[in-house]
A = this chain, B = another copy of it.
Amino acid sequence: MPSTDISDIQQFYARHMQLLDDGAAEQWARTFTDDAVFAAPSLREPVRGREAIAAGARAAAEGRAGAGEVHRHWVGMTTLGPGVRDGIEAVSYVQILAVGRQGPPRVHLSCVMRDRLVRQDGELRVAERRITRDDRP
């Protein structure tokens, strides 16, 4: 993917996280590949495929609604590995702000997000994601 630059990837992550935070689970899942793998400390084992990824996002949105909270995922400090045949490696910091109806926002989590991004039909998509939490190094 020689023509992908950091600006494309920043815009991808912005749209990607706005969809997640807005609870648009199906649209969010479509920013992954069909057979994407998603590994996170909150998951006993990696989730595979868009259906499972969408289901996880729906459950998270319901949990936030039940708690009366809004979450905002900020992605930043992204570094790109050398482009390889099967995609681009992107390593980013993520901070999640949680905002309730009472009291000020709080920094809910600080994570590192390691993605392999690919282009399909001209669109960037996540093929593989591994999340680590900074409070569980």
- Indicate the size class of the contact surface on chain A: 35 or more
Q: How many whole Å from A113's CB to the nearest CB in chain B?
A: 12
**14 additional contacts (CB under 8 A) given A101-B137, A104-B108, A105-B110:** A7-B7, A11-B78, A11-B79, A14-B79, A17-B77, A18-B77, A95-B97, A99-B135, A104-B106, A104-B109, A105-B107, A105-B108, A106-B107, A107-B107
Q: Select from chain B the residue with minimum beta-carbon distance to A101.
A: B135
Residues of B near A95 (CB, < 8 A) are 72, 74, 97, 105
Query: Is A10 among interface residues, defined by CB-CB distance under 8 A?
Result: yes
Q: Within the complex, which residue of B74, B80, B99, B137 is in contact with A134, where a contact is CB–CB below 8 Å?
A: B99
- Within A7-51, which residues are at the interface with B (CB < 8 Å)? 7, 10-11, 13-15, 17-18
Q: Which A residues are closer than 8 A to B by beta carbons?
A: 5-7, 10-11, 13-15, 17-18, 70, 72-80, 91, 93, 95, 97, 99-110, 134-137
